[in-house]
Structure formats: structure tokens, C-alpha cells
Amino acid sequence: MLYRSTRGNCSNVSSAEAIKRGLAADGGLFVPEKIIHFDKDQILKMSEMTYQERALNILEGYLDDYTLGELTDCVNQAYTAQKFETEAIAPLHKLYDSVSVLELWHGPTSAFKDMALQILPHFLVKALKKTGEKEEIVILVATSGDTGKAALEGFKDVEGTKIIVFFPSEGVSQVQRMQMVTQEGSNVCSIAVEGNFDDAQNGVKRIFGDEAVAALLHENGYKFSSANSINWGRLVPQIVYYFSAYADMIRNKEIETGEKINFVVPTGNFGNILAAYYAMQMGLPVNKLICASNDNNVLTDFINSGVYDRNREFKKTLSPSMDILISSNLERLLYLVTDGNSEAVSGWMGKLKNEGFYSVDQETKKKIQSVFWAGFSNDSDTLKTIESVYAETGYVLDTHTAVAVDVYDKYVISTSDVTKAVIVSTASPFKFNESVVKAIAGEEAVAGKTEFELLSVLSEKSGLAIPSPLKELDRKPVLHKEICRPMDMAEKVKRTLGI
């Protein structure tokens, strides 16, 4: 299986090479040249498998330059019951008769990024050996909050790698900030950037595109790679949990094999929901993919109108991990729905870069709308959703998942479609506890309390245990104190590497 660039201007590479490089040389994203198919019987068989076996089943098709032994090794190191505090790894929780929640936040950082970032470093280390890499890999990450910590956890002390994470100084929660600035490990560094996520992400993209910086790194035995959700090694493990959720629904006799279901995905960079689209193309019976945004509703507008326009105010919301105006992984969707029309994709991406917007043709728009439905939830509706779901069921949603539940309600009202649905839950409520406690217990309950004090308030209210990695967080020493302007990010990288 080879991987080609969505922009079509560089030669095809193996999966190990694609994972090592992150981004293609022409600025495009790597996509597999074929889609692996699963038929009904194969999907039925998955219902009797463990999460690890399901993962292996999906991965071996796409990462076929890895041996089965190597992949088994990666899977077994990443998805342990110890790290995820549950044997199921990605358990399904039945919320209402026809609605279940897929909990993707049982990993070490309490958010769904762990599903991919616990395994990516293992893919990468093996990729370095396979491709005869001599240079040390420098992972640069721009994060809206959750990726940064998940990448730091995934890469800490991984041989042959260094990791530098840039997070926006405005727009991460106290918990997220503390998770990053207290990170331990000999090869890790986190730096605050003045500005928002797009400032940090654009800064990282600029560094990646800077030939002088690349040359300097090379002279010093280093080479950049990316752990952002543009890396194929991030995307492919995310396909697994869509199959896993479906297999669990068969096992729980919620559905017949072959019955179509809906997935509702709280979306930012379009990585998670793109994995759902891949799963669907691979044969998973899906009716609709519901794309849920917060007030930064660029994707809602795009899916409904065919016009992607980032020229709008950036809003800070209660679901900060979705505060994004440029959804990078959309490029892969455009490539797929245009049957690999690199020329069109390059044109749109060029227009986005230069003018901040592009408009797709009618046919492309129709094709996207045949699969996707899009809506958004503002902060006030998000909080109301947390409150009402808690009142009705006792189940506590985090803000990102609440965006999805609210958009799902809007979907049902607008379409009357009551196909069984899975809400993809991307964070533990403990991670965004201030908003969550406010929603279920009122303003008074949060007044004068830090997010760390609120952990125990939420624990009492929900009857859930505080996830162990969050428990002692406020007492950990701060190890990373740097802050810089977006224009100084390259300098910071050089200084961190001592070059």
C-alpha cells in the first residue's frame, strides 16, 4: 500500500515514510492509494474481538510495510487496560433507547487524542528504523489544548525523538495548561504562544515550510516531523473505534449486522470525523455523519453552502479544543469526494491560504451533503444540554460532547431521522469541570473555586472517580515557563535544540 499527496506533486511513499514525514513535500496530506474493505461477516467477527484485536485488523491493511509482529507490539504497548483504566479501551455507554455515547477519554490525558497519540510514537520509532533514518526526529505540535498534552505523554522518553509543543496563551483551561507545563520527560518542551490556536498552528506551519530552518536542523542531525492530526499515523488508529463501536452495538444486540447507524462527532480540525468517513468508505454501515461545531462554525457553513470562509471573528468558547477556523483534515475529504482531483484540491487550498476562502463546485457539495449533516451549538445551548442530560439521566457530559448532543437534537428535529446514533464523546467532564459544574450545580457552586478544587465537587455530583492523572496535578512542579510571540517561534525551536 502506497501513500500519495492530496496535492499530487510528489512521489508515492510507504506508510512508514508517510508517518515519518507527517506532511507531504508539496504541502499536501498523505492519503492511502486504496481503501481497504470489510464485508458484513468480517464486521460481525469483530463483535467477538477485543479492542486490541480490532485495531490490529484495521491497521494491518493500511500499514502493510510493518510486520504483524511490529503492529502487535505497537497495539499492545498503546492500548493497555492500565493506561486506559478500562479493559474496553473505548467503551459504549447507553444514554437513551436509540442513543449511545462512545467514550474516547479513558486514556492518560482524559481526552480522545490519546486514542491516536498513545500509538503514533510506536509507529514512528519503527518507521525510523525501517527507513534507515539517521537523524533525530523533532516533533513540533501546535495545540488547541488536548493534542499538546496527549503528544507530550505519547512521546516522552521515546528514543530518537524530541517534542516541542506550542499552545495558545489564551484559550486553554487551567487543567490543560497545568498538564502541559508540568510535563516530565527528558525530551519534552512546552511553550505558550501569545494569541489563539490558529496563531500557533500557522506558526508551526511556517516553521515546517522554512527551508533555512530545515537546513540548519539537518546540519545538526535533526529533522522535523508532525504529530498533528494531519499525520496519517494519527488518523488510521481513529478509524478503529468506529468499527469498535459498531461491533459493540452488534454484541449488545442494539443493531442487526448491516444495519446503518449515525455518528455524531464534535469537530475541530476534522480529523475525528474524517476517520468516520474512512470507516464508512471501508464498508461500515453508516447512514449520516453529523458534524457538530461550536460558535466557530466554519464547517457548518461549509457543509451547508459549499463555501469555506475563514474570514470571520475567532471566538473563544467553552469547548476550546474545537476553537478552530482552519480544519486541516478537510483537505483529505475534498480529495476523496473528488475522486482524487489533486488539481482542484490544490486550487482550493491555495485560495484558502491567499484569500481565506474557497468555494467548491455543486457536484462536490452535493456529494458531501449526501453523507454529512452539519450544525452548531453556542455556549449557552451547550451548558443547557449538560444540565438537561444530567437531569434526565444522571450522566455528565463534557462541553465538547455536549456540543455534539445539542447538534444531534437539532438534527433529529430538523430531519425526523431516528436511526440509532452514537455520540462520539471526546473528553472527560473532569477536564472542563468549571463549565460542567456551572451547568449542573449553578454559578454558586463554582464561585471562588479553582478548577482543581472543582474536581472533587464534580466527583460528588456525578458519583464518578476523578481520573488519576488529574488528581495531583495542581501540586506538581511547573517545569516549562516560556512564552513567546508567534513570530519568535522558530527562534524558540532553535534555542530548545541548542542550534
**Contact positions vs ligand PLP (CB under 6 A):** 111-113, 146, 229, 266-272, 321-322, 400, 426-427
* 229 in Cβ contact with 28 (< 8 Å): no
DSSP calls for 341-406: -HHHHHHHHHHHHHHSEEE--HHHHHHHHHHEEEEE--HHHHHHHHHHHHHHH-----HHHHHHHH
113 in catalytic set: yes
Supply the DSSP symbol for 486.
Answer: G
Nearer to ligand PLP, 319 or 338 (CB): 319
* 369 in Cβ contact with 361 (< 8 Å): no
Nearer to ligand PLP, 47 or 269 (CB): 269
Encoded amino acid at 190, one letter: S
Separation of first and last alpha carbons in the chain: 37
Nearer to ligand PLP, 57 or 143 (CB): 143
Residue 113 neighbours by CB under 8 Å, 6+ apart: 146, 147, 149, 150, 151
φ and ψ of 52, to 5 deg: -65, -40
Grid cell digits, residue 51:
479492542
- CB-CB neighbours of 61 under 10 Å: 17
* 169 in Cβ contact with 483 (< 8 Å): yes
Minimum CB distance to ligand PLP, residue 319 (Å): 7
- Cell 460542567: give the residue: 436
- Cell 478503529: give the residue: 240
Nearer to ligand PLP, 288 or 400 (CB): 400
Q: Is the dihedral of CA 212, 218, 220, 224 positive or negative?
A: positive
Minimum CB distance to ligand PLP, residue 144 (Å): 7
Nearer to ligand PLP, 71 or 235 (CB): 235
Q: Which one is catalytic: 20, 40, 83, 113? A: 113
Minimum CB distance to ligand PLP, residue 58 (Å): 17
SS3 label, residue 165: strand
Minimum CB distance to ligand PLP, residue 401 (Å): 8
Burial state string for 283-316 with b = 16 or more CB within 10 A and e = fewer than 16: bbbbbbbbbbbbbbbbbbbbbbebebbbeeebee
Minimum CB distance to ligand PLP, residue 239 (Å): 12
Nearer to ligand PLP, 90 or 125 (CB): 90
Minimum CB distance to ligand PLP, residue 333 (Å): 12
Minimum CB distance to ligand PLP, residue 430 (Å): 12
DSSP calls for 177-208: HHHHHT---TTEEEEEESS-HHHHHHHHHHHH
SS3 label, residue 7: coil
SS3 label, residue 484: strand
Nearer to ligand PLP, 205 or 400 (CB): 400
* 136 in Cβ contact with 114 (< 8 Å): no
User: What residues are labeled active site?
Assistant: 113
